[in-house]
Structure 1
Amino acid sequence: MTQTNILKSLPFVDRLSAEQLKELSDLAEIQEFEDGETITLQFASAENYHVLYSGAVAYHLNVGDQRGALLVGKSDEQWTPIGWSGFREPYRFATTAKALGKTKVVKWNNQKIRALFDEQPTLGMHLLSSSLLYSTHLLREARASWIQGSVPLSSTDFQQTNSYTSFQDKGPQETTLEFFRQSAFFNPFADWHLAKLAKISRSKFYKPGEKLLTKGQVSDKFMVLKTGKVALNYLTEENEVYTSDVLEERGQVILWSAASYDAIPNNMELITIEPIEVLEINRLDLLVLYGEFPNLGMVFMYRLLWLLGSALKAIRAQVITQTFDRELLTIQTMIEQAGAQLSVCSELFKVPVLLDEKLTQGDAFDLMDKLAAEGIGQEKILANLFIKMTHPLRKEYLFFEGLKRMTDHVIRAPKSVPAYELRNECSEFFERATAYVDIKIDGLENLPKEAGNIFIYNHLLNHPYYTLPNNFQITLDSHFISMLLYKFYKDSGLRVVRIGKGPEYGHQDYYNKLGHLGVRTSDSDPSLQSKEQKREVRNQFFNEAGDKLKLGMNLILSPEGTSRETHQSPVAFKPGAFMIANASGIDPLIVPIALAFFDKRLSKTKLGVVIKKPFRLSEVIDKKKPFKEELRTFLESYSKQYRSYVEEAIVLAEK
C-alpha cells in the first residue's frame, strides 16, 4: 500500500485538496517496528514526527536513578501522535516510546514537514489539530494514574486565610493587546495575530461557585485568566471529584479545548473558587478567523500542543512523585528535561539542593515563590509547577515548623508559668500546627461530658522526619489527644510519661515543665533493684494518679508501654492503666482511642482517629474473683479486640 493510500484514511483528509494530500504523502515514510523496539528516545533530538498506523505503543519516562522504570501511557488508537515534541521547544522527545507487538507508523522529517506547514498553513492547522485530538487520551490516562495513588487535595486546601478581592483597582486600564503580550501562551503570536484576536475577545466576570466547564461538555469558549482562582477538577467514572490543580496565574489559559479546530471531548470540570475576570473568545469566532487566516490557526494549534505537553509534564510529575515517593527526584528529572532552556545561572538549580534537607526546605519554598513571580521563561513555568507538586510537602514543613515553635515555647517559658497553663498553651500551639494536617475523626459523641476519665490509646512510632534539630522527638499521638481534650474540656489533661534515662534529660525536662505524671522504670532509674523498692514507687505513682482523677482531671496513657507502626499496633496491653482505675477507688470511665498512621509522613497520608464508647473496669471485671487473674484474662482478649479498633481508624483514614 502506498503512502498516499494509507494517508487517505487520515481523519482530516476530507479537508485537504488532492495537491495537499500528495505533498504530505511525498514527505511520508512507512516504518515497521518489532515488539520492544524503540520508536523515540527520551531527551534525543526530535528529528522525526510519527503517527501510529497499526499495532500499539508504550510510553516510558526515565527517572533519575530509576532509569526506565516508569510506564506513563499506552495507545493502540490509529493516528495517535508519537513524539510530537518536535513541534515545540526544546525539540527533544519527552518520553521513550516502544512498540508493543508488531507496530507500523507513518513518519515525517520534522524540519521538512514544518517547512510544508509554512507553505500550506491550512494543511498544518488540520494535521496539528488532529494530533491534539488524538493526544488528549494520554492526558486522561495520566490523570487516571495520578488518581490511583493520590491523597487528593480539595479546592479548599488552596484557599487563602486572608480576604481576597479579585476586582481591584490596577491603575491605568490596559488594552487587550497589552494583556495578550503578558501571557506566555501568546509569546509566538505576531502583533497582527493578537490584534485580530483582540477584536473578537471580551472581558467577563464570574462569581464564586460557577461552573465554566462540566464533564462531557464540548467547550464553546476559550478563556484566559485575568484575576481570581479556578479549580480544575478531575471526575472519575464514579463521578468522584479530585482537584487536580488550582489555576490562578494572570495570563494563564484556563479553558483551551474550544480553540482546537477539532472538537475535543472533556472529562474535567472547571469551577470558580473566587470571583474571577477572564478574557474569553467564542469558538465559532475563532473558527471563522482560522478560515480567513489559516496561518493564525496553525500557530494556535502549535501553542495548544505546547499547552497539552505542559499539562502532561505536570501530571506525570505527580505520578513520578507517587511512584517513587520522592519529590526531589521528580524535580531533578524535570530540571534535567528542561536542558538548555534554563540559564546556567538560574537559581532554580538550587531548589533540589535546598529541598533535600528539611531544615532548608523553607528556603526552597521561598525561592520557588520568588521564581514563580519573577523568573524568566521556562524558569518561571517550572517554578510554578514545582509549587503545585510540593504543596503537600509545604504543608508538612509548616506542621514541622509548628512543632518547633511549640517545643521552643515550652522550653523558654518562665518557671513562674503554672504547669496547667503551659500544657494548655502547648495544645494551642499543636492545634495551629495540625491545621496543615488531614485528620479524620469518628466517635466524638463518645467523649464523656465531664472530665476525670482515663483515656487509653495505641502508641505509634514517630517518623524520623519529625525529629527536631536537637534530636528531640515529639510524640504526635499523645500530643494530639491532649489537644483534643483541651478543645473539649478546656484542659489538656495529664499524660503518663516514662521518666527518661540520663542522656534523655532534655526529653524529661520538657515533660516535667508541663507537669505530666512521670513513671519510673528500671531503665530510668537503675538503683531500683529490690521488689520492695519497685512496689513502693509503683504504689506512690498509683496514689498520685488516683488523686488527680478524684480532682476531676483526665489522664492519658498507652497500655502498651512501647510504640509500634500502625500495621503492628497494638501489642499486648500491660495492666498499668487499669491498675490506676482500680486503685483510684472511684471506678472512672476508660475511653479507648484508636489511632492510624501517626507513624507516617503526613505529606503522604491521612490520619485516622476513632473514639470508642467508654467503659468502667467494674463492667469488665468480676470483683468477686481474684483481681489479677480477671485482669489478665481481660487484657488478653481486649488487646486483640483493640486491633479491630485500629483497623476502623485505618479504613476511616483511607476513605
Structure 2
Amino acid sequence: MPLTTTLIELPFADRLNESELKILSENAELVTFEDEETITLQFASAEKFYILYSGKVEYHLNVGDQRGGLTVGENNERGTPIGWSGFREPYRFATTAIAKGRTEVVAWDNKLLRALFDSNPQIGMHFLSSTLLYSTHLLRDARNSWIQGSIPMTVDSFEGSTTYTSFQDKGPSESNLEFFRQSNFFNPFSDWHLMKLAEISDTKYYKQGEKLLSKGEASHKFMVLKSGKVALNYIKENGEVYTSDILQERGQVILWSAASFDAIPNFMELVVLEPVEVLEIQRIDLLVLYGEFPNLGMVFMYRLLWLLGSALKAIRAQVITQTYDRELLTIQTMIDQAGALLSVTSDIHKIPSLLAEKLTQGIAFDLLDQLSKTGVGQEKSLANLFVKVTGPLRKEYLFLEGLKKMTNHVIKAPKNTPSAQLRNECSELFEKAIAYLDISIDGVENIPKESGNIFIYNHLLNHPYYTLPNNFQITLDSHFISMLLYKYYKDSGLRVVRIGKGPEYGHQDYYNKLGHMGVRTADSDPAKLSAEEKRKNRMLFFDEASDKLKQGINLILSPEGTSRETHQSPVDFKPGAFMIANHSGIDPLIVPVALSFFDKRMSKAKLGVVIKPAFRLSEVIDTTKPFKEELRGFLESYSKKYRSYVEEAIQLVEN
C-alpha cells in the first residue's frame, strides 16, 4: 500500500506535487526496528536508504580494534536521513546506526531510488536537498566533539603548509568554464552544466582580514577558490577561536551552503588570511537555474552531500585521534573506509607503517606532502586529511630531530671548544627544537635580575619515545631551564648532574663536554669508598659549587635526586641544594621552578612551567639554631608545599 499519507509528513513533501509524491511512495515501505537493533552497518553495502519517522537513532564509528566503536551522533527528529553515504561511491554505509527504543523508518531500495531521481530530477533535487539539510547536524556534533578535546588553535598552528601565491601569474587568462573543468568538485558535471554555471559566475577579490562569512549568518554566495588562503574558524561562546582548517587549494569550494536548495544553518566563520581570488555565484542565480534545469540542481545536491561527507570524515578523524590517542589507528581506519576507491598500488598504504617507526616518520611526512599535491582522487583527499591529522606528530618529529641536532653538535664539537660557549650553543639549539611544542609559562617576573642564584626544580621522567638512536636520553626539564636562563642572562648556567654508571659513558661524556658539575651517587662507581673519602668528595663538591655562585654563575639542580611522573612529583627533597646555599656563605637566592607534563609525549600534552618568588635560606630557617635540625624540618614541610607549585603548573595547562 502506498505511503503517500506518511510521506506528506516528511520535510520535502510540500515541494512535490501529488503525482511525484505517489511515485516516491510506491517505492517506499515503513519498517520498525526494536531497541538496539542495527539499521545500518558500517562498511556494508548500502542497499537501503532510510528516513527517520519516529523514535531515535544513534550513530557509531567502528575504529580499528576498538570494540563497540565511537559514538559520533544521535537524532530523534522526524525527517532525519539514515544511510545517505549510500548515495556516494563506493555506495557503502559510513557508520553503524542503532535504534534507541522502538524506531520507525521509511525505507527505499537505494538503487531504485537513484534510478527514480535520474528519471525525475525534480524529485531527486528536493529529496537530496532535504537530506543535506537534515544531515548538517552531524557535522555540527562532530565539531563540538572535536572542540571538547582540543586546545584553542590559531592559524599559526598550520604554518609550513604549501600554498598558492596570491594572484600568481597563471599564464594566459582562463575562462570560468576552463576553471570549473579543473576543479575536483565539478568532475561529475557535464560541459553543458558547466557552461550554464560559467554564465552566472563572476571573479571577485577579497583583502586580507575580510570575513567571507560570520557565525550565524546565512550565506548568499557560493565560492570556489582560485588563489590565496582562508581560515575556517569555530568560535565558542566565550570568544575562543579554533581554526579547524586552512582552505588554500585551487579549485576548492570554500563556501558551499548557498548552493543548497534549502538554506543551511551556519556555525563557522571564514576569514581571509591572504588576499584571495574566487569564482563566485549568487544564491538567487543558482535557485533560478535549478528551477529551469532541475537535473543540474540534483547533480549539485549530490556533490554537496559528497562535500559534507568529506568534511565529516576529516573532523571525525581528529575526534578518533583525540579519543584513542592513536594517530596510526585513525589513519588505518580512514584507509579502510576508502576501500575500493584506492588503488592497491597507492603509496598511501605505506603511511601507517612508515609512521609507526621514529626513524621512518620523516619519509612518511615527505610522502604525504607529495601525495597531497600529486595524488589522484581519493588518494589526494586522504593525503590532505592525514597532513592535518598528523600535525601534532609532525611537530613532535621536528622536535626530536632538533634534539638529535643539539646532541650531535655537542658530541662533534672540537675538544678545545670552551664549555661555557658550548652550553650556550646547546641552549640556542634546544630553543629551536622546543619551538614546535606548546608551553605555558607563568612567573617570569620572579627570575632575579642578577645571576649567581640556585634554581631548583621538580625532576620529571623522560618519556621513552625521546630516547635517541644511541639510547641516550636528553633530560628535557633541565635543558629547558638552562635555555630559559640563557634567554635572561645570556649564560645557560651550570647543572648539577649525576655521574653515570660505567655503561652510561656516553651520557657522562656529553655532560663533561658541557662542563656541568657531576655529583656521585651510590650507583656511580662500583668501588667502595670509606666514610672519610665520601666526606672529602662531598666537601670538594660543595667548595666547587660555592665558588661558582660567588663568580655569579647560576646553578640548576633538583633537590629530589630522582625523577618521577607529574602526578607523583615531587618526592621528598634531599638537603644538597640547600647545603650548597649554606656552605657558600653568601646566602644566595633560591628560585623554585615547578614543571608539569615534561614526562609526556609532546604531541599529546601541553607543558606547564611556573616560576615562584625567590627566597633565601636565612628567610626560612632560624640561623641561631642547629642547622641540620632546622633544615630537616624545613625540607619536610617544603616538599609538601612544592606539590602545590606543581599543581599550579598542571592547572596552568588544563584551564
Report deviation, 1:412: 0.4
What TM-score does the superposition give when structure 1 sets the normalisation length?
0.98
Q: Which segments of 5 or more consecutive residues in structure 2 lack a partner in the other structure?
A: none
Work out the CA distance in 2 between the residues paired with 1:575 and 1:245: 52
Q: What SS is found at the alignment partner of 1:563? A: coil
> Is the aligned partner of 1:375 residue 2:369?
no
Equivalent residue number for residue 209 of structure 1: 209
Equivalent residue number for residue 131 of structure 2: 131
Report deviation, 1:402: 0.3
Work out the CA distance in 2 between the residues paired with 1:233 and 1:144: 13
Equivalent residue number for residue 78 of structure 1: 78
Equivalent residue number for residue 445 of structure 2: 445
Report deviation, 1:623: 0.5
Work out the CA distance in 2 between the residues paired with 1:164 and 1:622: 68
CA offsets, 1:166-204, max 9 Å, x none? 122222222222211221111100011111111111122
Work out the CA distance in 2 between the residues paired with 1:426 and 1:406: 6
CA offsets, 1:4-29, max 9 Å, x none? 11111122222111100100110111
Alpha carbons of 1:528 and 1:511: their partners in 2 closer, same or farther (altered >3 Å)? same
RMSD (CA atoms): 1.3
Q: Which amino acid aligns with 2:134?
A: Y
> Is the aligned partner of 1:652 residue 2:652?
yes
Deviates more, 1:636-645 or 1:230-239: 230-239
Q: Indicate conservation of the 8 Å contact 1:466/1:474, yes or no.
A: yes
Work out the CA distance in 1 between the residues paired with 2:276 and 2:547: 60
Report deviation, 1:67: 3.2
Equivalent residue number for residue 360 of structure 1: 360
Q: What SS is found at the alignment partner of 1:98? A: strand
For residues 82-121 of structure 1, the aligned pairs below 5 Å read 82-121=82-121
Report deviation, 1:2: 5.8
Work out the CA distance in 2 between the residues paired with 1:165 and 1:179: 17
Work out the CA distance in 2 between the residues paired with 1:504 and 1:651: 36
> Is the aligned partner of 1:51 residue 2:51?
yes
Q: What SS is found at the alignment partner of 1:288? A: helix
Work out the CA distance in 2 between the residues paired with 1:142 and 1:652: 27
Equivalent residue number for residue 68 of structure 2: 68
Q: Indicate conservation of the 8 Å contact 1:53/1:104, yes or no.
A: yes
> Is the aligned partner of 1:332 residue 2:335?
no
Q: What SS is found at the alignment partner of 1:228? A: strand
Work out the CA distance in 1 between the residues paired with 2:577 and 2:528: 21
Equivalent residue number for residue 180 of structure 1: 180
Q: What SS is found at the alignment partner of 1:101? A: coil
Work out the CA distance in 2 between the residues paired with 1:304 and 1:497: 61
Work out the CA distance in 1 between the residues paired with 2:514 and 2:277: 52
Equivalent residue number for residue 4 of structure 2: 4
Alpha carbons of 1:432 and 1:109: their partners in 2 closer, same or farther (altered >3 Å)? same
Q: Indicate conservation of the 8 Å contact 1:522/1:528, yes or no.
A: no
**How many corresponding residue pairs?**
655
Alpha carbons of 1:146 and 1:568: their partners in 2 closer, same or farther (altered >3 Å)? same
For residues 429-468 of structure 1, the aligned pairs below 5 Å read 429-468=429-468
> Is the aligned partner of 1:262 residue 2:265?
no
Report deviation, 1:589: 0.5
Work out the CA distance in 2 between the residues paired with 1:10 and 1:317: 32
Q: What SS is found at the alignment partner of 2:102? A: strand
Work out the CA distance in 2 between the residues paired with 1:248 and 1:654: 32
CA offsets, 1:25-79, max 9 Å, x none? 1011100000110100111111111011100011111111113321111111111
Q: Indicate conservation of the 8 Å contact 2:153/2:241, yes or no.
A: no
Work out the CA distance in 1 between the residues paired with 2:149 and 2:369: 27
Work out the CA distance in 2 between the residues paired with 1:345 and 1:64: 22
Q: Which amino acid aligns with 1:400?
A: L
> Is the aligned partner of 1:301 residue 2:301?
yes
Q: Identity of paired residues, percent?
A: 76
Equivalent residue number for residue 147 of structure 2: 147
Equivalent residue number for residue 245 of structure 1: 245
Q: Indicate conservation of the 8 Å contact 1:151/1:605, yes or no.
A: no
Q: Which segments of 5 or more consecutive residues in structure 1 lack a partner in the other structure?
A: none
CA offsets, 1:440-465, max 9 Å, x none? 11111111011110000010111111
CA offsets, 1:390-413, max 9 Å, x none? 111101100000000000010000
Work out the CA distance in 2 between the residues paired with 1:270 and 1:528: 70
Q: Which amino acid aligns with 2:391?
A: H
Q: What SS is found at the alignment partner of 1:68? A: strand
Report deviation, 1:511: 0.3
Work out the CA distance in 1 between the residues paired with 2:509 and 2:41: 59
Q: Which amino acid aligns with 2:389?
A: M
Work out the CA distance in 2 between the residues paired with 1:202 and 1:459: 62
Report deviation, 1:218: 0.8
> Is the aligned partner of 1:414 residue 2:405?
no
Q: Indicate conservation of the 8 Å contact 1:42/1:94, yes or no.
A: yes
Q: Which amino acid aligns with 1:26?
A: E
Report deviation, 1:162: 10
Equivalent residue number for residue 166 of structure 2: 166
Equivalent residue number for residue 291 of structure 1: 291
Deviates more, 1:155-164 or 1:415-424: 155-164
Q: Which amino acid aligns with 1:314?
A: A
For residues 536-575 of structure 1, the aligned pairs below 5 Å read 536-575=536-575
Work out the CA distance in 2 between the residues paired with 1:302 and 1:557: 64
Q: Indicate conservation of the 8 Å contact 1:151/1:606, yes or no.
A: no
Equivalent residue number for residue 517 of structure 2: 517
Work out the CA distance in 1 between the residues paired with 2:67 and 2:181: 40
Equivalent residue number for residue 618 of structure 1: 618
Work out the CA distance in 2 between the residues paired with 1:96 and 1:164: 39
Work out the CA distance in 1 between the residues paired with 2:615 and 2:522: 32
Q: Which amino acid aligns with 2:584?
A: S
Report deviation, 1:425: 0.5
Work out the CA distance in 2 between the residues paired with 1:89 and 1:304: 14
Deviates more, 1:345-354 or 1:156-165: 156-165
Q: Indicate conservation of the 8 Å contact 2:163/2:229, yes or no.
A: no
Work out the CA distance in 1 between the residues paired with 2:376 and 2:615: 64
Work out the CA distance in 2 between the residues paired with 1:207 and 1:586: 61
Deviates more, 1:152-161 or 1:643-652: 152-161
Q: What SS is found at the alignment partner of 2:60? A: strand
Q: Indicate conservation of the 8 Å contact 2:163/2:248, yes or no.
A: no
Q: Indicate conservation of the 8 Å contact 1:528/1:534, yes or no.
A: no
Q: Which amino acid aligns with 2:179?
A: F
Work out the CA distance in 2 between the residues paired with 1:453 and 1:211: 51
Report deviation, 1:238: 3.5
> Is the aligned partner of 1:17 residue 2:17?
yes
Work out the CA distance in 2 between the residues paired with 1:307 and 1:186: 11
Q: What SS is found at the alignment partner of 1:274? A: strand
Alpha carbons of 1:164 and 1:250: their partners in 2 closer, same or farther (altered >3 Å)? closer
Alpha carbons of 1:352 and 1:164: their partners in 2 closer, same or farther (altered >3 Å)? closer
Work out the CA distance in 2 between the residues paired with 1:227 and 1:496: 55
